[in-house]
């Protein structure tokens, strides 16, 4: 059986053009070779697996190539290129700084630099993981790095640029390598799969590329693993099973249940996710990303920001059209808040389940906010039918031309109506009724004295709920300060009715400021700041819908306490008193008085 070579080594780029996703680096190096403007020291920086060492080797081979092509690529056939490919080059040296990080190792390197190359024009030293050198080794290397012989070139590579001394950085030409894009990585994996006769699905390759987080070496390692797992048939299902990745379907099903306000399904989906061994924190982070992707697909201009396959992109597009922008923005705020609180929570599962329940009732909350009804008003609405039943149960059968007035329990009527800021009417014990006068809800008669009943209050609230909902295009309307202040005061009163007195005090103590779409609220201390942060989501959920502007944001500003004035000294008190009454100074001099 032939020895297996992993794809990361077998398909390692050997020319500048074959390097994936680093064109800004390779083009610069090719131009430097073509114009013969090579620096004496290069520093390649970037995350793991993006091609730093690969580019260093290609640069070293190309510099010493005897027949460089017109496109500044190595020929691969000359003696220098062959010796490098066989690992027998005397002019190109690789040093691992992680295991050779002492001063003695650097001194040995400096001694070797003094010897001219035996073959080729340059002597190239590739030092990988250069940040692992000790400070003494760096200092010993400084002079040689600044003024090396004309035939010596140093190529340093590191993943942690911040650990390198500034004196080293100033002597190098620095190239920053980027994380490789998902599209570029998926395309490269598809090319390798075709060469290896491996069947694949584009969705599966995209998942591998996303999981690699910009590192091509990681992607190739996962590619080999899944190819073995699936017997050279890389499918979407095989990838998520082998890499233990949360499937997109879970999030699409979850948001469909949220849109339908189906709390039971959301909890069952989350339970299924936990049973598969996934962590709740990982799930909530994925939910935030899913909500972000749905918001991105709302506008065709930002559709390109999605780093997913075309099939998944279409699913995002379909679901985003079915869910209101206001709901998505509020859901993203709630999910982010859950992600922040998850680590400090003792009951992680309850934290996530509470978030899911909030998401399911978000549509109702937004609808109530649109109609200007607070949470306390909604509770009153639930209680009103019971009160009406009590009133109707006391109504006698109408057989004569006169009936007694309906009996309404005073405790129910006064408490329910006062809770909605409606003055409680005085209810007389009996009322004369004219015959033949129709009564709403009381047969064919009406009392001569009109009494506001609970039925009336209930119907007024029902009419308020028939207001028009948000329509597409109304999400970012311009706000006037007077209109904003009116909604702000309405919300403050609703909070007062709901016994959220601290938040009501913060909102009414000083007038808020509106800077564009940013609301600034003054708070006096850290306690009020915490209360404002806790109520921020509720305030924004109401104002964004009421003002038809979902880009509103809220910020608390802690005002400086006025400096306490020091008490006057005896001398200062006397001077103030003498200024007001000059005769006091005459009295003091007359009796030769002093100040204690």
pLDDT exceeds 70 at position 444: no
Among 51-65, 223-237, 383-397, 432-446, which stretch is predicted with the lowest mean pLDDT?
A: 432-446
269's tokens: 């989906």
Dist CA 519 CA 552 (whole Å): 7
Dist CA 280 CA 204 (whole Å): 24
533-550 b/e (C-beta count within 10 Å ≥ 16 → b)? eebbbbbbbbbbbbbbbb
Among 224-233, 367-376, 434-443, 579-588, which stretch is predicted with the lowest mean pLDDT?
A: 434-443
SS (H, E, C) 18-48: HCCCCHHHHHHHHHHHHCCCCCCEEEEECCC
Closest CA to 406 of 436, 447, 458: 447
pLDDT exceeds 80 at position 356: yes
389's tokens: 């039943």
Looking at per-residue pLDDT, the higher value among 120 and 444 belongs to 120
Confidence of residue 549 (pLDDT cuts 50, 70, 90): confident
Looking at per-residue pLDDT, the higher value among 466 and 89 belongs to 89
CATH topology of domain 7-176: Rossmann fold (3.40.50)
Please identify, in words, the CATH class of the domain defined by 248-360.
mainly alpha
pLDDT exceeds 50 at position 396: no
Domains 182-243 and 248-360 share a fold: no
Cβ neighbours of 326 (radius 10 Å): 21
pLDDT tens digit string along 185-224?
888 999 999 888 888 888 888 888 888 888 888 888 888 8
Closest CA to 74 of 87, 61, 92: 61
% of the chain surpassing 90 pLDDT: 3
Strands 233-234 and 199-200: parallel
| Confidence (pLDDT) at 299 | 81
Coil/strand/helix, residue 161? helix
CB 406 within 8 A of CB 431: no
pLDDT exceeds 80 at position 269: yes
| Strands (E) located in 482-592 | 513-515, 518-523, 553-558
Q: Tokens 């979902």 label which residue?
A: 550
Dist CA 229 CA 233 (whole Å): 9
564's tokens: 């306490």
Domain spans, the chain: 7-176, 182-243, 248-360, 413-420+456-565, 566-596
Dist CA 52 CA 29 (whole Å): 13
pLDDT tens digit string along 456-502?
444 444 444 444 444 445 567 788 888 888 888 999 888 888 888 88
User: What's CA 536's distance to the chain center, in Å?
Assistant: 17
Cβ neighbours of 572 (radius 10 Å): 11
Q: Tokens 């919300």 label which residue?
A: 491
CA separation, residue 465 to residues 230, 366, 579 (Å):
56, 12, 69
305-316 b/e (C-beta count within 10 Å ≥ 16 → b)? ebbbbeebbebb
As a CATH number, domain 182-243 is: 1.10.8.60
Q: Tokens 């140093």 label which residue?
A: 154
Cβ neighbours of 222 (radius 10 Å): 19
Confidence of residue 397 (pLDDT cuts 50, 70, 90): very low
pLDDT tens digit string along 334-345?
888 888 888 888
Confidence of residue 175 (pLDDT cuts 50, 70, 90): very high
Name the pTM for this structure.
Answer: 0.55
% of the chain surpassing 70 pLDDT: 79
pLDDT exceeds 80 at position 557: yes
Confidence of residue 42 (pLDDT cuts 50, 70, 90): very high
Dist CA 506 CA 438 (whole Å): 49
Length of the chain: 596
Q: Own/partner pairs for 56-60, CB < 8 Å, 24+ apart?
A: 56/126, 56/128, 56/155, 56/157, 57/84, 57/92, 57/126, 58/13, 58/14, 58/15, 58/16, 58/19, 59/29, 59/33, 59/124, 59/155, 60/84, 60/92, 60/124, 60/126, 60/153, 60/155
pLDDT exceeds 80 at position 395: no
Closest CA to 433 of 401, 409, 457, 460: 401
Strands lying side by side in the sheet with 41-45: 92-96, 123-128, 152-158, 41-45, 173-176
Coil/strand/helix, residue 209? helix
Dist CA 182 CA 304 (whole Å): 12
540's tokens: 């924004």
DSSP 172: S
| Confidence (pLDDT) at 244 | 76
pLDDT tens digit string along 276-326?
888 888 888 889 989 998 888 888 788 778 877 778 888 888 888 888 888
Beta carbons within 8 Å of 291's beta carbon, 6+ residues apart: 255, 328, 331, 332, 335
Beta carbons within 8 Å of 591's beta carbon, 6+ residues apart: none
Dist CA 573 CA 580 (whole Å): 11
CA separation, residue 310 to residues 249, 307, 314, 580 (Å):
15, 9, 6, 86
Q: Is 46 exposed, middle or buried (0-12, 13-18, 19+ CB in 10 A)?
A: buried
pLDDT exceeds 80 at position 428: no
For the segment 5-16, the average pLDDT, to the nearest whole number, is 86
Among 30-39, 85-94, 457-466, which stretch is predicted with the lowest mean pLDDT?
A: 457-466
Q: Angle 526-546/325-342 helices, nearest 10 degrees? A: 160
Confidence of residue 368 (pLDDT cuts 50, 70, 90): low
Average pLDDT of the residues of the chain: 77
Q: Is 466 exposed, middle or buried (0-12, 13-18, 19+ CB in 10 A)?
A: exposed
Among 216-220, 270-274, 397-401, 518-522, which stretch is predicted with the lowest mean pLDDT?
A: 397-401
CB 552 within 8 A of CB 545: no
Confidence of residue 527 (pLDDT cuts 50, 70, 90): confident
Number of H helices, E strands in the chain: 26, 12
pLDDT exceeds 60 at position 81: yes
């Amino acid at each position: 059986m032939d020895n297996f070579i992993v794809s990361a080594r077998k398909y390692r780029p050997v020319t500048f053009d074959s390097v994936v996703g680093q064109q800004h680096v390779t083009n610069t190096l090719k131009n430097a070779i073509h114009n013969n403007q090579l620096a004496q020291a290069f520093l390649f920086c970037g995350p793991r697996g993006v091609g730093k060492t690969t580019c260093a080797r290609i640069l070293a081979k190309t510099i010493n190539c005897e027949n460089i092509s017109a496109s500044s690529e190595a020929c691969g056939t000359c003696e220098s290129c062959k010796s490098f490919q066989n690992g027998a080059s005397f002019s190109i040296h690789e040093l691992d700084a992680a295991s050779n990080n002492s001063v003695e190792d650097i001194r040995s390197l400096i001694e070797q630099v003094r010897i001219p190359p035996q073959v080729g024009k340059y002597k190239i030293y590739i030092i990988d993981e250069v940040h692992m050198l000790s400070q003494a080794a760096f200092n010993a290397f400084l002079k040689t790095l600044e003024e090396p012989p004309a035939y010596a070139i140093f190529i340093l590579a590191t993943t942690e640029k911040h650990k390198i001394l500034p004196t080293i950085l100033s002597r190098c030409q620095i190239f920053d390598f980027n994380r490789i894009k998902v599209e570029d990585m998926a395309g490269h994996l598809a090319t390798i799969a075709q060469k290896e006769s491996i069947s694949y699905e584009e969705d599966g390759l995209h998942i591998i590329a996303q999981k690699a987080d910009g590192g091509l070496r990681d992607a190739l390692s996962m590619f080999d693993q899944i190819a073995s797992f699936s017997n050279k048939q890389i499918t979407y299902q095989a990838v998520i099973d082998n890499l233990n990745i949360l499937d997109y379907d879970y999030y699409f099903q979850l948001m469909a249940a949220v849109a339908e306000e189906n709390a039971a399904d959301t909890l069952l989906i989350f339970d299924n996710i936990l049973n598969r061994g996934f962590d709740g924190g990982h799930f909530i982070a994925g939910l935030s990303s899913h909500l972000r992707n749905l918001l991105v697909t709302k506008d065709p201009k930002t559709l390109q920001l999605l780093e997913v396959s075309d099939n998944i992109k279409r699913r995002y597009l379909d679901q985003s059209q079915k869910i209101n922008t206001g709901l998505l923005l509020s859901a993203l705020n709630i999910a982010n808040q859950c992600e922040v609180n998850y680590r400090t929570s003792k009951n992680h599962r309850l934290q996530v389940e509470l978030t899911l329940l909030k998401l399911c009732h978000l549509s109702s909350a937004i609808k109530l906010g649109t109609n200007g009804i607070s949470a306390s008003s909604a509770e009153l609405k639930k209680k009103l039918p019971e009160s009406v039943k009590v009133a109707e149960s006391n109504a006698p059968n109408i057989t004569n031309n006169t009936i007694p007035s309906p009996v309404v329990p005073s405790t129910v009527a006064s408490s329910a109506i006062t809770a909605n800021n409606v003055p409680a009417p005085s209810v007389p014990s009996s009322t004369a009724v004219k015959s033949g006068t129709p009564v709403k809800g009381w047969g064919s008669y009406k009392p001569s004295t009109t009494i506001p009943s609970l039925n009336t209050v209930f119907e007024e609230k029902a009419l308020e709920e028939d207001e028009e909902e948000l329509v597409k295009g109304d999400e970012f309307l311009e706000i006037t300060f007077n209109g904003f202040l009116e909604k702000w005061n309405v919300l403050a009163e609703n909070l007062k009715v709901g016994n959220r007195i601290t938040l009501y005090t913060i909102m009414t103590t000083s007038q808020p400021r509106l800077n564009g779409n940013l609301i600034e609220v003054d708070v006096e201390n850290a306690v009020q700041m915490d209360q404002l942060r806790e109520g921020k989501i509720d305030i924004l959920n109401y104002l964004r819908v009421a003002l038809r502007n979902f880009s509103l944001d809220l910020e608390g500003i802690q005002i400086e306490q006025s400096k306490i004035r020091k008490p006057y000294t005896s001398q200062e008190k006397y001077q103030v008193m003498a200024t007001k009454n000059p005769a006091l100074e005459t009295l003091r001099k007359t009796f030769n008085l002093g100040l204690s």
